[in-house]
């Protein structure tokens, strides 16, 4: 057998190079807000496996529910029969939906699959073909999901052609529009709705457009919340033209931003909502929820998948929903969020870091810190020629050296905070201190 210290080399030799990694350490254990590696090294986890283990690693009740389910029924198959955890999960989720009209579920395994399913449904239900997605959006890595993803060409480079019939439009983020950072929200909304209207006039007619898909907080595009007026504008345009509005809450959902779903803040009603990640706290499970009147138009047998709505994942999902009821998760998110924002805003004003932090934004515990940049696109008015290069990656690397897993996001210089939703005040402070020290050391 390969010795423990040789495992990273074994991984480099035998795991496809197409998978990138933050660290070559070998993870063996997760417990609450911490992870442990083969070499005994322990780290504070501010990545949550990209916003998945939101209730901490191995939440005892979630793990227990999954273990119990393993002894009862591991696999059913949604095309063979109903199974009880599938239905009990839906029963738990119904009252958590942002709008009571969202009452018809299709369960799958990953976020990408939920995106694929929603595209299929939108095309079939509307009888139209085209989908509009946002510049900067991330929806996954399968061909349809990759087609609506517009955050980085790194995901699609060399893999073309993607699914046809997809058009991009501007997300109301100043970099995406190439306007100064202090542009008012009202102006950002006007500019991006104007761009969308142009897309409908010049590229894909409303008559050919089945759906608009949007993350209410753009994730891999920089952790930027969409202004409510923009979401309301989308709703209006969709209503006017019989276009479906698909809201992707895969990353922003399940308490991440302080409400169960981010879309609740704007009061906008999606026609379809997608969830995954936090839904089962690490077990593969995703869902498309829509209205029965829409999904009744689908033909039986047209949706499915061998593992879709796996019984063990559903049992974990039930325990997650139960934890939201019993463990004051949202109250913790909001309390910790205030502390996080206040500490990061204070840090951004610290003369020791020489104004390198240009923005602290997000909602709840989905927070992006953007550094000044000198490099991404010479036409961007927000560039600062004297800014140090590659700040976000250097800061994240430094945090890892100091014992905290943290991720960057987008083509811009952004570090993202996605700590566990039930993180303690003490661990949050520890993470903030590691981050602050790292920024200071990188700037020095
Ligand atoms: N949508 C969003 C908003 C996401 O953040 C992600 C994953 N980062 C996906 C879809 C794709 O999910 P998965 O990786 O489970 O396929």
So what's the pLDDT on residue 340? 98
Q: What is the pLDDT of residue 375?
A: 81
Q: Rounded to an integer, what distance in angstroms lies between the CA atom of residue 115 and that of residue 385? A: 39
CB of residue 151 inside a 6 A radius of ligand 1: no
User: From ligand 1's centre to the CA of 379, what distance in Å?
Assistant: 30
Q: Take atom 12 of ligand 1 and give the residue whose Cα is closest.
A: 111
Cβ of residue 218 lying under 6 Å from some atom of ligand 1: no
Q: How far is the CA of 316 from the centre of ligand 1 (A)?
A: 19
Residue ranges for the chain with pLDDT beneath 50: none
> Ligand 1: which atom is nearest the Cα of residue 137?
3
Residue 363 Cα to chain centre, angstroms: 13
Q: Which atom of ligand 1 is nearest to the CA of 252?
A: 3
111 lines ligand 1 (CB under 6 A): yes
Burial of 15 (0-12, 13-18, 19+ CB in 10 A): exposed
160 plus 251 within the same structural domain: yes
Place of tokens 């993180």: 423
Q: What CATH number has the domain bearing residue 393? A: 3.90.1150.10
Q: Which atom of ligand 1 is nearest to the CA of 109?
A: 15
Given the DSSP bridges, would you call strands 166-169 and 217-218 parallel, antiparallel or unpaired?
A: unpaired
What per-residue confidence (pLDDT) applies to 41? Answer: 95
d(CA 247, CA 267): 12
Does 184 lie in the same domain as 118? yes
| Rounded Cα–Cα distance for residues 117 and 303 (Å) | 7
139 lines ligand 1 (CB under 6 A): yes
Same domain, 79 and 226: yes
CA of 141 to the centre of ligand 1 (A): 8
End-to-end CA, the chain:
45
**276 CA → ligand 1 middle, Å:** 8
336/415 same-domain check? yes
Ligand 1 center to residue 250 CA distance, Å? 6
* Nearest-10 crossing angle of helices 425-443, 391-401: 120
Query: What pLDDT is recorded for position 185?
Result: 98
Ligand 1 centre to CA of 1 (Å) is 35
Last residue of a domain, one of 268, 300, 326: 326
Q: Which domain holds residue 196?
A: 62-326
User: Are residue 238 and residue 319 in the same domain, yes or no?
Assistant: yes
CA of 385 to the centre of ligand 1 (A): 34
My answer on whether 118 and 41 are in the same domain is no
CB 230 within 8 A of CB 173: no
Choice from 134, 277, 279, 305 to test ligand 1 binding pocket (greatest atom count within 8 A of CB) = 277
Query: What pLDDT was estimated at residue 377?
Result: 85
Instruction: Tell me the C-alpha distance between 88 and 318, whole Å.
Output: 7
CB-CB neighbours of 98 under 10 Å: 23
For residue 203, the Cα-to-chain-centroid distance in whole angstroms is 28
**What is the tally of structural domains in the chain?**
2
Cα–ligand 1 centroid distance for 318 (angstroms): 21
Backbone φ/ψ region at 411: left (φ over 0), alpha (ψ -120 to 50), beta: alpha
Residues 226 and 115 in one domain: yes
Pairwise CA distance, residues 306 & 41, whole Å: 38
> Is 181 in the same domain as 274?
yes
Domain identity same for 139 and 272: yes
Contacts of 65 (CB under 8 A, 6+ apart): 315, 316, 318, 319
346 C-alpha vs ligand 1 centroid, how far in Å?
Answer: 32
Can you give the pTM of this predicted structure?
Answer: 0.98
Q: Is the Cβ–Cβ distance between 214 and 251 less than 8 Å? A: no
Residues 32, 97: one domain? no
> Does one domain contain both 268 and 340?
no
Instruction: Determine the atom of ligand 1 nearest the C-alpha atom of 249.
Output: 3
Q: Assess whether the C-beta atom of 360 lies below 6 angstroms from ligand 1.
A: no
Atom of ligand 1 nearest to the CA of 113: 16
Domain boundary among 304, 326, 348: 326
Residue 297: DSSP 8-state: T
What is the rounded distance in angstroms from the CA atom of residue 186 to the CA atom of residue 319?
41
Tens digit of each residue's pLDDT (9 = 90 or more) over 161-219: 999 999 999 999 999 999 999 999 999 999 999 999 999 999 999 999 999 999 999 99
Residues 29 and 134 in one domain: no
Task: Return the closest-CA partner of residue 307 out of 273, 280, 271, 278.
Answer: 280
Report yes or no for ipTM above 0.90: yes
Residue where a domain stops, chosen among 286, 306, 326: 326
CATH number at residue 112: 3.40.640.10
């Amino acid at each position: 057998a390969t010795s423990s210290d040789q495992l990273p080399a074994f991984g480099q030799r035998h795991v496809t190079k197409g998978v990138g990694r933050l660290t070559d350490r070998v993870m063996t254990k997760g417990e609450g807000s911490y992870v442990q590696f083969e070499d005994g090294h322990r780290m504070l986890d501010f990545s949550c496996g990209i916003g998945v283990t939101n209730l901490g690693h191995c939440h005892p009740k979630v793990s227990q529910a999954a273990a119990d389910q393993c002894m009862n029924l591991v696999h059913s198959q949604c095309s063979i029969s109903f199974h009880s955890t599938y239905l009990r999960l839906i029963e738990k989720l119904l009252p958590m939906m942002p709008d009571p009209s969202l009452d018809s579920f299709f369960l799958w395994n990953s976020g990408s699959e939920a995106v694929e399913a929603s595209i299929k449904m939108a095309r079939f239900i509307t009888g139209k073909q085209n989908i509009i997605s946002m510049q900067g959006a991330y929806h996954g890595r399968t061909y349809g999901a990759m087609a609506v993803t517009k955050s980085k060409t790194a995901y699609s480079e060399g893999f073309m052609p993607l699914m046809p019939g997809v058009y991009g439009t501007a997300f109301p983020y100043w970099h995406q529009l190439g306007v100064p950072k202090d542009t008012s929200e009202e102006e950002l909304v006007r500019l991006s709705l104007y761009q969308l209207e142009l897309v409908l006039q010049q590229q894909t007619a409303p008559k050919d457009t089945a759906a608009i898909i949007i993350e209410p907080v753009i994730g891999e595009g920089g952790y930027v919340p969409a202004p409510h007026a923009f979401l309301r504008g989308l709703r209006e345009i969709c209503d006017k033209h019989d276009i479906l509005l698909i809201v992707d809450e895969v990353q922003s959902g399940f308490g991440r931003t302080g409400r169960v779903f981010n879309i609740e803040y704007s009061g906008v009603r999606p026609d379809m909502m997608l969830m995954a990640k936090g839904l089962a706290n690490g077990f593969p499970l995703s869902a498309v929820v829509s209205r029965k009147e829409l999904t009744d138009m689908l033909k039986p047998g047209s949706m499915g998948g061998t593992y879709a709505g796996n019984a063990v994942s559903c049992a974990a999902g039930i325990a997650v929903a139960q934890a939201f009821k019993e463990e004051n998760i949202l109250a913790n998110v909001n309390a910790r969020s205030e502390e996080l924002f206040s500490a990061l805003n204070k840090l951004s004003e610290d003369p020791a870091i020489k104004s390198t932090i240009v923005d602290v934004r997000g909602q709840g515990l989905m927070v992006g810190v953007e550094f000044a940049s000198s490099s991404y696109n010479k036409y961007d008015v927000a560039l600062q020629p004297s800014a140090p290069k590659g700040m976000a990656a250097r800061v994240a690397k430094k945090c890892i050296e100091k014992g905290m897993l943290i991720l960057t996001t987008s083509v811009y210089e952004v570090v993202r905070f996605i700590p566990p939703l039930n993180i303690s005040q003490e661990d949050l402070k520890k993470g903030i201190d590691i981050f602050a020290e790292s920024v200071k050391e990188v700037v020095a």
